[in-house]
Amino acid sequence: MALDHKSFSLEIKAVNDDGFFSGYASVFGVVDSHGDIVAKGAFSASLAAWAAKKRLPSLLWHHKLDEPIGVWTVMREDDVGLYVEGRLSQKVQRGAEVYELMKIDAVSGLSIGYVTREDSYDRVTDVRTLKQVDLWEVSPVTMPSNEQARLTGIKSRDSAETKNAIQALINSMRSK
């Protein structure tokens, strides 16, 4: 069975020094460069099946089955799309490399590996709607298909702590 791949921009909310990152792997209702739209609810049955197994799909580098780079810790659908949280392994060479590339915004996309279970095709608009998919893996990639969700910021735990410490110092000085 061959897997389809669908790329999306990864809107990263944070990348911490421990390799944690979060964002959206898929955004609903957006026509991508392949003429596909992912419908709300497309992942729900697959995510339920993964939950029953007490696992989540693989976190791979560019769909390479021999290059796992970490683990997904959260995957869920919300009103926006497929929200994900993951942790890159800092002790795996490729995981450490991807972490560094995310920090400098060189890698900001995700691509899903899936099998289509239900779809529809509109011949007038030439758009396929993915209604139900079996999600197998999600990979960080350099060239996503969907430009809608872009990298919004990267922060490390240290920089957040430093910023908070500086603000506390400023507040302390103002109160004297």
* pTM attached to this predicted model: 0.78
Tell me what percent of the residues of the chain surpass a pLDDT of 70.
Answer: 73
Tell me the average pLDDT across 20-36: 87
Active site residues: 63, 111, 137
Q: Find tokens 């991508």 and name the residue.
A: 32
- Residue of 165, 152, 146 lying closest to 35 (CA atoms): 146
State residue 146's pLDDT score.
58
From residue 113, how far is each of 87, 151, 167 by CA, in Å? 19, 21, 43
The 10s digit of each residue's pLDDT in 42-62 is 999 999 999 999 999 999 999
Judge whether residue 7 has pLDDT over 80.
Answer: no
**Per-domain boundaries in the chain:** 4-174
